Amino acid sequence: MLPSSPAPHGGAARRAGARRVLVLSASMGAGHDTVARELVRRARAQGHEADAADLMRLLPYGTGSGLRAFYRTSVRHAPFVYDGLYRAFLRPGEHTRPSGVPLARLAADGLERLVARTGADVVVPVFHLAAQLTGHLRTLGRLRVPSAVFVLDFAVHRQWLHPGNDACFCVTDQAADDVRGAVPGTHVETTGPVVAPEFFAPAPGADGWRERFERYAPGRPPVLLSAGAWGAAAGLGETARLLADAGYLPVVLCGRNRTLRSRTARVRGTLALDWVTDMPGLLHAVCALVDNAAGQTAVQALAAGLPVAGHRPLPGHGADGVRRMAELGLSEAADDGPALLDVLDRLVTEDPGARERRAAHGRAVFRADVMERAVALTGRSAVPSPGQG
């Protein structure tokens, strides 16, 4: 769930310099909403008023829930379908989508009403269809406050890009370069990912996780396998079996997929988890993360100083993101089972100095506060939107 619903415009006067921020997310998995919650927390901590809204709820006629169900089913059971759609409509190329995709435009009236009701001074999309929507409305002059897109992906696909948006904040310099090349004239900055502060510091819950691992499989180094909020992963049981046979304790994040948890729990020597609320403690207690999506769990691992190995990535932007992370030296690529064991053996046994250098390289990705940069755009709110004048 996102933070509280946006409050009506009005009420107590704002303090001097305070702004109203609307973060536009989407309940597609948990990553976008996790980022939205952290951005809202930061804005409020900085003295601003902030709320988050779910684009899926702004889409009419049950379109949002239908889209979510289709995507969840595709990535869980027919990833080749999503891969085909990604290659046809999302993979980076020479064309952007300057008019906004029709699906996003269905939420235009709802977003206009929401911006008017909240009195938002800036809108911050953290989902690609939301970025299409705000860019479209800015171009038409129907959204008269800045739209600052936070591009979550390491590999930027086309639907993040709309020339109508005022700014794009990116997780790496390479992603920022991709955006500049695709939408010239847009203000682009590298800020790094958005992660809650609890991931950077020693986590109080880590000792409890370590004790649990030791009781379950004494002496075995715990390695975390992530399948995302929806429990979408290829060959997860096979990977868990490979690690268990090699002397590791596979700790599998099954998200909200009960079927996956039940199936994975039957793999000898594997600890299958359902929904985890203490991710900082868990990430500080394991030895490495085996990642398949280059999503929020991966950047949380970087914040925690945890080594990341990319293996069996989800098709589409997951595979592109995992490859980009490895190219940047933020993770290790493992194309098959033997390669994964080689990577883990090296990561788990490397000397403290090498481990600290690796952790420092990962944490160097976190550069600036996206919320501070987005709020700074509000001085441009009186400027005509890109489609005017």
211-238 pLDDT per residue, tens: 999 999 999 999 999 987 666 677 889 9
- List the 332-334 sheet strands across, edge first: 271-273, 249-253, 222-226, 288-291, 308-311, 332-334
Residue 3 in any domain: the answer is no
What pLDDT is attached to residue 60?
78
Task: Please name the residue that has the structure tokens 């090296």.
Answer: 346
- Report which of residues 7 and 256 the model is more confident about: 256
* Number of structural domains found in the chain: 2
What pLDDT is attached to residue 72?
64
What pLDDT is attached to residue 3?
42
Residue 385 in any domain: the answer is no
| Cβ pair 151, 170 in contact under 8 A | yes
73 pLDDT band (50/70/90 cuts)?
Answer: low
380 pLDDT band (50/70/90 cuts)?
Answer: low
Give the residue ranges of DSSP H helices in the chain.
31-45, 55-58, 63-77, 79-85, 102-105, 108-118, 128-140, 173-182, 206-216, 236-245, 258-265, 279-285, 296-303, 317-327, 337-349, 352-363, 370-376
Residue 137 in any domain: the answer is yes
| Cβ pair 321, 245 in contact under 8 A | no
What pLDDT is attached to residue 91?
65
Residue 8 in any domain: the answer is no
CA angle 222, 228, 232 (to 5 degrees): 105
What pLDDT is attached to residue 284?
98
Same structural domain for residues 254 and 316? yes
What pLDDT is attached to residue 389?
29
| Cβ pair 191, 370 in contact under 8 A | yes
What pLDDT is attached to residue 14?
60
Same structural domain for residues 80 and 146? yes
What pLDDT is attached to residue 39?
97
Residue 127 CA from chain centroid, whole number? 9
What burial class does residue 144 get, using C-beta atoms within 10 Å of its C-beta: 0-12 exposed, 13-18 middle, 19+ buried? middle
Same structural domain for residues 213 and 352? yes
Same structural domain for residues 177 and 46? yes
Supply the mean pLDDT for the chain. 86
| Cβ pair 132, 29 in contact under 8 A | no
8 pLDDT band (50/70/90 cuts)?
Answer: very low
Task: Please name the residue that has the structure tokens 């794009």.
Answer: 168
Residue 124 in any domain: the answer is yes
What pLDDT is attached to residue 7?
43
Same structural domain for residues 327 and 223? yes
Q: Residue 85 maps to which CATH number?
A: 3.40.50.2000
- List the 20-25 sheet strands across, edge first: 49-54, 20-25, 122-125
Residue 327 in any domain: the answer is yes
Residue 6 in any domain: the answer is no
The residues with which 124 forms a beta bridge, in sequence order, are 23
Which residue type does 299 have? V
Q: Which DSSP state fits 237?
A: H
What pLDDT is attached to residue 17?
80
Same structural domain for residues 213 and 252? yes
Structural domain containing residue 253 = 198-363
What pLDDT is attached to residue 334?
95
Same structural domain for residues 211 and 260? yes
Same structural domain for residues 108 and 230? no
Same structural domain for residues 89 and 132? yes
Q: What is the largest CA-CA distance in the chain?
A: 69
C-alpha closest to that of 231 among 289, 143, 292, 284: 292
Same structural domain for residues 288 and 346? yes
Residue 13 in any domain: the answer is no
Inter-helix orientation angle 258-265/236-245, to 10°: 30
Give the integer Cα–Cα distance in Å for 205 and 282.
7
What burial class does residue 159 get, using C-beta atoms within 10 Å of its C-beta: 0-12 exposed, 13-18 middle, 19+ buried? buried
Same structural domain for residues 175 and 204? no
333 pLDDT band (50/70/90 cuts)?
Answer: very high
291 pLDDT band (50/70/90 cuts)?
Answer: very high
Same structural domain for residues 47 and 133? yes
How confident is the model over 53-61, as a mean pLDDT?
A: 86
pLDDT digits 0-9 by tens, 144-182: 999 999 999 999 988 899 999 999 999 999 999 999 999
What pLDDT is attached to residue 76?
58
Task: Please name the residue that has the structure tokens 């027919």.
Answer: 78
59 pLDDT band (50/70/90 cuts)?
Answer: confident
